[in-house]
Structure 1
Amino acid sequence: MEYAVIIIGAGPGGIFSALTLADLGVSPVLLIEQGRDLSERTRGSSQDMLCGWGGAGAYSDGKLTLSTEVGGFLSDYIGRKELLELLSRTDEIYVAHGAPARLYGETSAAVEELADRARIADLELVPMRVRHIGTENCSVVLQNLQQSLAGRVEIRTNTPVDKLLTEAGKIQGVELADGQRIYSRYVLAAPGRAGSRWMKRQAELLGLKSKASPVDIGVRVELPAIVLKDITDAIYESKLIHYSKTFDDKVRTFCMNPYGEVVCEEFDNVAAVNGHSHTAAKSENTNFAILVSSIFTEPFDDPIGYGRYIARLANLLGKGVIVQRLGDLLSGRRSTPGRIARCLTRPTLSNATPGDLSFVLPYRLLVNILEMLQALNKLAPGVYSRHTLLYGVEVKFYSNRIDVSPEMETRIPNLFVVGDGAGVSRGLLQASASGILAARAIGMRIRKESSCHEG
């Protein structure tokens, strides 16, 4: 049997491309996912945390960022107006499948005042609207999306793809890990971040051009929620940018979680730190990441390897994630269990090892992070407290960005790549939108082909 389209990956890019193709009446479509079905995934498995129905986003706190400025690079491929319409349509689909109706960050006097205060503190507030699904609600939305595809798209989980098949320079289908070959006229690869290595290897084998993306390295900050309450009340997740005084490097806040929790995540047997927030269950703390983008020049071309090395160093010293009081870091001493116990900020990640991040983070990154904390303290007094907790390390690996057309097509005819795994997005909404963009192009071509055959 030959399929019209084979989709690789059941993360947001794959799911939304499948949904779009089904709505356009394209059939038969096969959606292949290397991981397990959502009902079979568990938090106890590092593989399940990244792979399976819903992708890595299944266990995120589900932030949909309605902005052309953050979350990906789709604005490099289509116009801003078109992208805004696409993001709006993508957001509507999420809401129709159970995402909350409430939007944070709408323009208001409070937001404008916050932006002015940020400028005074040598910070730039990036305006954006955010829809917060919540960690516990992500599975509900993903289940609803799966139900929408039932009977319209064939779904195979626990089915790793080994390689892409081409003939005479044109895509022919895929070969599974067990050697089975499945053929199709179109292939849409949406491997996600967990599949970034696979995607890079396929690109090399097929001669697809790509370029390395920067790696973001930093810490997760945790402090009493009251410190940032004025900010998080105005904007659920504030994106703040600072250019450090010493190095003039770009430093930014990322993934702010009011009343949330710090969590550990594993990627390729490396433990790193992240943060979540629930719509119902609340903690007394707010957490967010401070990240520094590291862009390397020749001859070095392995930013992912560099970030993995820093994370492994933290794992070596702390047997996992390290936590340190800011006051201890500034005093040149490691945090101990006793010092953490006396901290006014109660850690939400109980299994983090008290330690010393100055043994892990390079000097340049550490200086950038401290200068960012000082700037944030001007905006929200209490950030630069000795009781502020720093967890390390937080690393964001971004896939090599594959050269694609505005329709997400590679130089191999009928081979499309979308989402974080292809390097075109960095978040749920733009990953989903890239799937819609590619699926629309495929659907239009199939319709034209059918018209020609009928004629």
Structure 2
Amino acid sequence: MKKYDIIIAGAGASGVFMSYELTKEKNQAKILMIDKGAPLEKRVCPIKAGKTKNCIKCSPCHIMNGYGGAGTLSDGKYNITTQFGGDLHRYVGTDHAMELMEYVDSVLCAMGGSDAKLYSTANSDLKTRCLQNNLHLLEAKVRHLGTDRNVQILGKIFEYIKERIDTQFYTTIEDVAVMDDGTFHVLTDKGQFACDKLVLATGRSGSKWIAKICDELGIEQKKNRVDIGVRVELPAEVFKDITDAVYEGKIVYKTDRYNDMVRTFCMNPYGEVVSENTNGIVTVNGHSYADPNLHTENTNFALLVSNKFTEPFEDSNEYGESIARLSNMLGGGVLLQRFGDLVKGRRSSERRMEKCFTRQTLAATPGDLSLVIPKRQLDSIIEMIYALDKIAPGTANEDTLLYGVEVKFYNSKVHVDKNLQTKIPGLYALGDGSGVTHSLSQASASGVYVARILAKQYQ
């Protein structure tokens, strides 16, 4: 059994930046990073490669797993803010959280992201327009790398760390044991490893795994929320004024009917809609590219309704999964409906889609989202679309496309201290897998934060 000083479970954003910082900081630690997915160069989705039109549920999913995690093949948006994207500031302080995110941004720029534009959502005109229409624009600085540039940067980071950090891909951690001497034994399908420090950094795709490990080790977890919604796709001209000004406009609306919170999420100007496999369930997401040659004529973004539950129900992620399963059952994957058909109470058919002026960027099954998404959430989404139509006329057009379902899973929040260490000495939980962060910037920053703590212990 091979022994390491530090094992990082997960090569997502937090694991990548932890390995980067441990390479940069002076220390003698022997380090292993494990991920169940593929190395960067082999992360190719069959849909993107043109081998299939629909998700075939690869295991593991190349969109969700592998070096860089779920953020690798995303559109590479890093939101530098504490107003959304997680609660890292509650552990390390607001100023320090911002400093860490700024540092992450500087690394990205040094690795090839300096040409990527840095936007600010503190746009007074748009903020005023939103407030005048009962909408609220959250403030952040946004670095948009684009999927293409994002992959190149991650490749450079891997080249930087590969001689210093051992990496093991296509490897699943099956169990973790705490030994009497305080060390950890990590059992994988490729053998067993031992370490003094174990860092759980599995990202959002590892939500069930990290919950299982914490349950076995008696680590307290606080159940989180789940967001249910759709991916909206419309002509880019409709949102051009907004995306030109702020790129990622995080707009929040409180509905009149139910007092529910609805928000825009992951806006992709001139992007494409994609499907992804999360724990065997096909959901929808969106990407965009920095290269103008890869742009489409559409903009897409998610509209999500937040759902929090009280006793006796606890498993919020299971609720989201059950809705996604229903969509998969009815549509064989992702369902697609014109907004005009939805509000008129009729399903979108192949015949109606042939007459649609908005050209879809994802092959999906025309259908009826009202048979899948609960009435309360669907009513709130419709109300939000009409609210957005006031600041971006054309949002509520009949040919606006709605893909379903989009589910934003939140890992149970693992109980950690200010160092992101659990009650078990030497066991850390960080990134989106811990429930502490919900974004690329904050997850990356948490990796840097813990790396600096551990580096001092191995100088």
| TM-score, scaled relative to structure 1 | 0.94
| CA distance, structure 1, for counterparts of residue 336 and residue 219 of structure 2 | 41
Distance in structure 1 (CA, Å) of the matches to 2:161 and 2:410: 29
Moved more, 95-104 or 298-307: 95-104
Q: Percent identity?
A: 43
Measured on the aligned residues, the alpha-carbon RMSD in Å equals 1.4
Task: Compute the displacement of 1:228 (Å).
Answer: 0.7
2:189 is the alignment partner of 1:177: yes
1:1-26: per-residue Cα shift (whole Å, max 9, x none)? 53221111111111111111222233
Partner of residue 385 from structure 1, selected from 397, 403, 406: 397
Q: Which deviates more from structure 2 when the two are superposed, residues 361-370 or residues 434-443?
A: 434-443
**Separation (CA, whole Å) in 2 of partners of 1:105 and 1:46:** 36
Aligned to 2:157: 145
Residue 448 (structure 2) pairs with residue 439 (structure 1): no
Corresponding position of 2:51: none
1:68 equivalent in alignment to 2:82? yes
Secondary structure of 1:217's partner? strand
Q: What residue in structure 2 maps to residue 450 of structure 1?
A: none
Contact 2:226 2:407 in 1 (8 A): yes
Give the unaligned 5+ runs of structure 1: 448-455
Aligned to 1:277: 288
For structure 2, the 5+ residue unaligned runs are: 47-57
d(CA) in 1 for partners of 2:209, 2:279: 13
Matched, 1:127 2:129: no
CA distance in 2, matches of 1:185, 1:262: 43
In the alignment, the residues of structure 2 paired with residue 76 and residue 419 of structure 1 have an alpha-carbon distance, to the nearest angstrom, of 14
Taking the TM superposition and a 5 Å limit, the aligned residue runs for 1:201-350 are 201-280=212-291, 281-349=294-362
Whole-angstrom distance in 1 between the partners of 2:416 and 2:182:
15
Alignment correspondent of 2:22: 21
Contact 2:207-2:412 at 8 Å conserved across structures: yes
Letter in 1 for 2:80: L
Q: CA deviation at 1:107?
A: 6.5
Confirm or deny: 8 A CA contact 2:121 2:245 kept in the other structure: no
| SS of 2:458 mapped into structure 1 | helix
SS in 1 for 2:92: coil
CA distance in 1, matches of 2:81, 2:16: 21
Structure 1: distance between partners of 2:179 and 2:139: 47
8 Å CA contact retained: 2:6, 2:197 = yes
Partner of 1:41: 43
1:359 to 356, 368, 371: 371
Contact 2:64–2:276 at 8 Å: present in 1 too? Answer: no
CA contact (8 A) 2:185 2:193 kept: yes
Contact 2:230–2:404 (CA<8 Å) still a contact in 1? yes
Residue 199 of structure 1: aligned partner: 210
- Cα separation, 2, equivalents of 1:264 and 1:207: 35
Deviates more, 1:264-273 or 1:123-132: 264-273
The one of 424, 433, 437 aligned to 1:412: 424
Deviation at 1:197, TM superposition (A): 1.0
Instruction: Name the counterpart of 1:453.
Output: none
Point out the more displaced range, 237-246 or 264-273.
264-273
Give, as a single letter, the amino acid of the residue that structure 2 aligns with 1:251.
V
SS in 2 for 1:85: helix
Letter in 1 for 2:431: G
Judged with a 3 Å threshold, the aligned counterparts in structure 2 of structure 1 residues 2 and 46 are, in CA distance, closer, same or farther, namely: closer
SS of the equivalent of 1:105 reads strand
Instruction: Return structure 1 stretches of 4+ with deviation > 4 angstroms.
Output: none
Provide the C-alpha distance between the structure 2 equivalents of 1:403 and 1:103, rounded to a whole number of angstroms.
Answer: 36
Residue 161 (structure 1) aligns with: 173
Q: Which of 50, 55, 66 pairs up with 2:69? A: 55
CA–CA distance in structure 2, aligned partners of residues 46 and 95 of structure 1: 33
Q: Is the 8 A contact 1:105 1:127 kept in 2?
A: no
> Is contact 2:336-2:367 (8 Å) kept?
yes
* Alpha-carbon distance in structure 2 between the residues aligned to 1:106 and 1:214: 28
**1:452 alignment partner in structure 2:** none
SS at match of 1:137: helix
Give the number of equivalent residue pairs: 443
Give the letter for the 2:13 counterpart.
P
Whether contact under 8 Å (2:335, 2:364) holds in the other structure is yes
User: Partner letter of residue 222 of structure 1?
Assistant: E
Q: Any conservation in 2 of the 1:169–1:412 contact (CA below 8 Å)?
A: no
What one-letter code is carried by the residue in structure 2 that aligns with 1:113? D
Amino acid at match of 2:220: K
- The more displaced of 21-30 and 299-308 is 21-30
Deviations 1:103-127 (A, max 9, x none): 343367xx10100000011100001
Instruction: State how far apart, in whole Å, the 2-side matches of 1:223 and 1:172 are.
Output: 51
The whole-number CA distance in structure 2 between the counterparts of 1:172 and 1:381 is: 57
Task: Assess if the C-alpha contact under 8 Å between 2:14 and 2:444 holds in 1.
Answer: yes
Shift of 1:46: 5.3
Q: How far did 1:177 drift?
A: 2.4
Contact 1:418 1:431 in 2 (8 A): yes
The answer (yes or no) to whether the contact 1:55–1:192 under 8 Å persists in 2 is yes
TM-score if structure 2 supplies the norm length?
Answer: 0.94
In structure 1, the residue matched to 2:6 is 5
Q: Structure 2 CA distance, aligned partners of 1:302 and 1:274?
A: 23
